[in-house]
Structure 1
Amino acid sequence: MRYYMKSKLFKIKEDFWVTDGSGNKCFFVDKEFFTFGLQFKVEQNNMIRYRVREKLFKFLPSYEVFNENNDLIARVRKNFTFFRDSIEVESKYGDFQIEGDFFDFNYRIIAGGRVIAEINKEILAFTDNYYVDINYDNEAFIIALVVIIDDIIDKQRNH
Structure 2
Amino acid sequence: MRYLVRDKIFAIGDDYWIEDEDGRQAFLVDGKALRLRDTLELKDPAGRVLVTLRGKVLSLRGAMTVERDGETLATVRRKRLSLLRNHYHVSLAEGPGLDVSGRILDREFGVERDGEVLARISRKWLRVRDTYTVDVVREDTGVDAALLISVAVCVVRMAEKD
Say whether the fold is shared (TM-score over 0.5): yes
Given residue 90 of structure 1, which amino acid in structure 2 is its aligned partner?
S
Corresponding residue number in structure 1 for 2:148: 142
The answer to whether the 8 Å contact 2:39/2:52 transfers is: yes
Corresponding residue number in structure 1 for 2:73: 73
146-155 or 11-20, larger mean C-alpha shift:
11-20
1:71-120 CA distances to partner (integer Å, 9 max, x unpaired)? Answer: 11111111132235111111125310000228643110001220010111
Question: RMSD in angstroms over aligned alpha carbons?
Answer: 2.2
Gaps of 5+ in 1: none
The answer to whether the 8 Å contact 1:84/1:104 transfers is: no
3-12 or 28-37, larger mean C-alpha shift:
3-12
Gaps of 5+ in 2: none
Query: How many residues align structurally?
Result: 154
1:1-159 paired onto structure 2 within 5 Å: 1-8=1-8, 13-44=13-44, 45-67=46-68, 69-80=69-80, 81-91=82-92, 92-101=94-103, 104-121=106-123, 125-126=128-129, 128-137=130-139, 138-156=144-162
CA shift, 1:21, in A, is 2.0
State TM-score, norm by structure 1. 0.85
State TM-score, norm by structure 2. 0.84
- Sequence identity (%): 23
The answer to whether the 8 Å contact 2:17/2:25 transfers is: yes
